[in-house]
């Protein structure tokens, strides 16, 4: 209303100026004065008008809490803020950094709900004020600075650093690191709680779980379970809100990402079976205070290789994608050429082709959220295609879901693509840490994909030893399986390197402290090659080559004389071998209209060129 009034006044002034031009043309001095005064007045009003307009726009959803006045002295000191977060956001023992271990453990330890731990909230402004109060406290403690719409970290020597998790990890004061860790927990959870409160009723099937350790070097990721359309709302609203507040992505500021596709499901039993999968497609795990379902790898042994081939390809794609990001183009081309020549493995060649295809899509149209909206239509594509092979409906559902998770996560941030990598790392090594005997039993191909993906992560994040340690743990399991004993040499080389920077006890140690020896012990000179990661690179490349060679021979997936066209890869056959509407959205349509265009893709278009099911004859795999 204020803007409309000012605009009206502005128009009146301009009319007065026009009148002056018409009727006061004889007295030139008076004319000049009137024109000057009115023009100056119009300029001032215009400046004020745009100031008000800009301020009102900045108060839109996502940043308006910055304009909410924080309660004075709500947090008197650091311990006050710390205890507030413990009492309201941390449900379980060891869930928050520095938390007292003497607390009750429950199975919903990591679930994020609408309310604070001990209070029911009915107004999203409560969470806006919680965030505002916490940020104001850090500003009062001279840890944060707000300059315009951006925040900066203030160091003890008055340096102003960008507000990023990388800079937070570089702080020398452990207390400062701890308070930023707790701030991350408070802000991320508060944003999610306000989204649940605003968009989802009490009977919604959407569930939100947090993933990550309490180590300052660890990320804090969020996984969504439920309807894909609901997940898209959360992902989009979270990132929109976060960017309007911090003018940066959550992955940069807090090393936090939201994932909507995974291989486990926390929904209640009835919802999982009726809305997601049937009894044959999922397995229930109910031990160690965890109760969840996880997707099978396959059902019918006759079609086992179709899914194992697909999963292996996605593992190779992840490794190659990280190789291209971690090294320069020349090294990538040399290494892939070597693999193509020496392996003679068309499955590897097709992985390169799929990776090139996916990386050349327009990310504003083919992205994480939009692919989730397309999930039903993608499932229809798989059902039509795989019916050619007379695969039973349950196996089609399993393969389709595997492919959809991998495809969606390809456009995510820091995600695992394959069932093997997710269940081996996230479930067995993280969720069930210390309880390996009760972990999920996986196929050898799934341990291979886990090694491929974690090795790829190491190529990009080679300052973090955790990824190569994950490779080490998985390789230890793999060599005990039939046909992989020759990989013991690779494991021995890896153990020898890791032992250089690991404590003998290996309990509670931060491996990265001793991970890289930059100074030569003999002459006190800087020697880059003394860093263990360069030795690990060579071990990784040899290990990946040896593993793929063993898998090729063991499963007889391909021989030197077999044509690549003989390999059944559903994703390749559906999306690359033929044109379909999913990856051919109209490039002329604006980004804001993409979701509408996705919804308008007709089932008839997806079924284009498909033979009537009644007339199909089974192909042989």
Looking at the fold, whether 123 and 149 belong to one and the same domain comes out as: yes
> C-alpha distances in angstroms, 528 versus 468, 531, 533, 534, 536?
19, 6, 10, 9, 14
Average pLDDT over residues 503-518: 55
Q: Is residue 118 part of a domain?
A: yes
Flag whether pLDDT at 21 surpasses 50.
yes
pTM of the model: 0.78
Q: Which of 151, 246, 233 is nearest to 198 (CA)?
A: 233
**How many domains are there within the chain?**
3
Q: Which residue among 58, 75, 94 closes a domain?
A: 58
Average pLDDT over residues 344-372: 89
Looking at the fold, whether 21 and 82 belong to one and the same domain comes out as: no
Looking at the fold, whether 396 and 468 belong to one and the same domain comes out as: yes
Residue 235 contacts residue 368 (beta carbons within 8 Å): yes
> Where does residue 600 rank: exposed (0-12), middle (13-18), buried (19+ CB within 10 A)?
exposed
Give residue 456's domain range.
300-503+532-615
In this prediction, what percent of the chain has a pLDDT beyond 90? 28
Q: How far apart are CA 406 and CA 410, in angstroms?
A: 6
pLDDT at 581: 78
Q: Is residue 437 part of a domain?
A: yes
The band of 7, judged by pLDDT with boundaries at 50, 70 and 90, is: low
Residue 303 contacts residue 393 (beta carbons within 8 Å): no
Q: Is residue 293 part of a domain?
A: no
Query: 306: Cβ–Cβ under 8 A, 6 or more apart, which residues?
Result: 298, 386, 389, 391, 399, 568, 570, 621
Q: Which residue among 14, 39, 58 closes a domain?
A: 58
Looking at the fold, whether 252 and 331 belong to one and the same domain comes out as: no
Task: Return the number of other C-beta atoms located less than 10 Å from residue 173's C-beta.
Answer: 11
Looking at the fold, whether 52 and 95 belong to one and the same domain comes out as: no
Residue 411 contacts residue 366 (beta carbons within 8 Å): yes
pLDDT at 474: 96
Pairing mode, strands 221-225 and 150-154: unpaired
Looking at the fold, whether 69 and 54 belong to one and the same domain comes out as: no
Tokens representing residue 433 in the block:
């840490």
Looking at the fold, whether 228 and 146 belong to one and the same domain comes out as: yes
Looking at the fold, whether 165 and 250 belong to one and the same domain comes out as: yes
Q: Is residue 517 part of a domain?
A: no
The band of 61, judged by pLDDT with boundaries at 50, 70 and 90, is: very low
pLDDT at 65: 47
Looking at the fold, whether 18 and 92 belong to one and the same domain comes out as: no
The model's pLDDT over 130-164, given as tens digits with 9 standing for 90+, comes to 998 999 899 988 899 988 888 999 888 888 899 99
Q: Is residue 277 part of a domain?
A: no
């Amino acid at each position: 209303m204020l803007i409309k009034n000012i605009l009206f006044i502005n128009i009146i002034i301009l009319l007065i100026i026009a009148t002056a031009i018409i009727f006061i043309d004889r007295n030139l001095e008076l004319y000049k004065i009137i024109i000057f005064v009115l023009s100056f007045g119009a300029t001032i009003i215009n400046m004020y008008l745009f100031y008000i307009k800009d301020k009102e726009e900045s108060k839109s959803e996502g940043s308006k809490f910055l304009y909410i006045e924080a309660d004075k002295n709500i947090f008197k000191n650091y311990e006050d803020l710390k205890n507030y977060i413990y009492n309201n956001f941390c449900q379980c023992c060891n869930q928050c950094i520095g938390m007292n271990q003497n607390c009750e453990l429950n199975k919903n330890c990591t679930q994020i709900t609408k309310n604070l731990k001990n209070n029911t909230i009915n107004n999203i402004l409560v969470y806006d004020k919680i965030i505002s109060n916490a940020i104001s406290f850090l500003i009062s403690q001279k840890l944060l600075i707000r300059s315009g719409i951006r925040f900066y970290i203030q160091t003890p020597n008055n340096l102003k650093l960008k507000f990023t998790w990388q800079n937070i990890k570089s702080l020398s004061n452990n207390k400062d690191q701890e308070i930023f860790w707790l701030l991350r927990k408070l802000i991320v959870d508060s944003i999610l709680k306000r989204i649940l409160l605003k968009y989802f009723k009490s009977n919604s099937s959407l569930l939100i779980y947090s993933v990550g350790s309490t180590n300052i070097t660890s990320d804090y990721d969020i996984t969504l379970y439920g309807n894909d359309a609901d997940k898209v709302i959360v992902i989009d609203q979270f990132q929109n809100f976060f960017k309007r507040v911090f003018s940066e992505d959550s992955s940069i500021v807090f090393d936090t990402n939201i994932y909507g596709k995974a291989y486990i499901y926390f929904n209640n039993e009835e919802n999982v079976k009726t809305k997601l999968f049937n009894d044959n497609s999922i397995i229930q795990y109910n031990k160690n205070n965890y109760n969840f379902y996880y997707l099978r790898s396959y059902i019918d042994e006759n079609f086992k290789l179709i899914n194992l081939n697909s999963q292996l390809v996605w593992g190779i794609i992840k490794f190659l994608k990280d190789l291209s990001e971690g090294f320069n183009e020349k090294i990538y081309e040399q290494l892939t050429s070597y693999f193509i020549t020496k392996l003679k493995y068309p499955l590897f060649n097709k992985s390169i082709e799929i990776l090139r295809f996916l990386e050349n899509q327009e990310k504003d149209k083919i992205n994480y959220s939009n692919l989730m909206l397309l999930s039903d239509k993608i499932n229809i594509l798989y059902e039509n295609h795989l019916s050619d092979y007379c695969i039973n409906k349950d196996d089609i559902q399993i393969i389709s879901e595997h492919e959809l998770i991998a495809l969606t996560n390809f456009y995510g941030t820091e995600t695992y693509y394959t069932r093997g990598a997710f269940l081996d790392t996230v479930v067995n090594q993280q969720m069930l840490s210390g309880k390996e005997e009760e972990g999920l039993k996986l196929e050898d191909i799934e341990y291979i994909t886990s090694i491929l993906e974690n090795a790829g992560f190491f190529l990009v994040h080679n300052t973090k030893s955790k990824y190569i340690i994950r490779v080490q743990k998985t390789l230890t399991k793999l060599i005990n399986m039939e046909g992989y004993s020759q990989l013991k040499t690779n494991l021995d080389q890896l153990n020898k390197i890791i032992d250089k920077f690991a404590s003998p006890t290996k309990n509670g140690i931060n491996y990265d402290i001793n991970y890289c020896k930059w100074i030569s012990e003999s002459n006190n000179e800087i020697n880059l090659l003394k860093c263990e990661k360069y030795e690990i690179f060579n071990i990784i490349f040899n290990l990946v080559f040896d593993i793929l060679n063993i898998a090729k021979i063991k499963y007889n997936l391909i021989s030197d004389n077999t044509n690549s066209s003989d390999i059944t890869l559903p994703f390749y056959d559906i999306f690359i071998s033929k044109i379909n509407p999913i990856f051919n959205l109209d490039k002329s349509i604006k980004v804001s209209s993409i979701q509408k265009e996705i919804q308008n893709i007709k089932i008839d278009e997806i079924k284009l060129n498909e033979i009537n099911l009644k007339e199909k004859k089974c192909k042989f795999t």
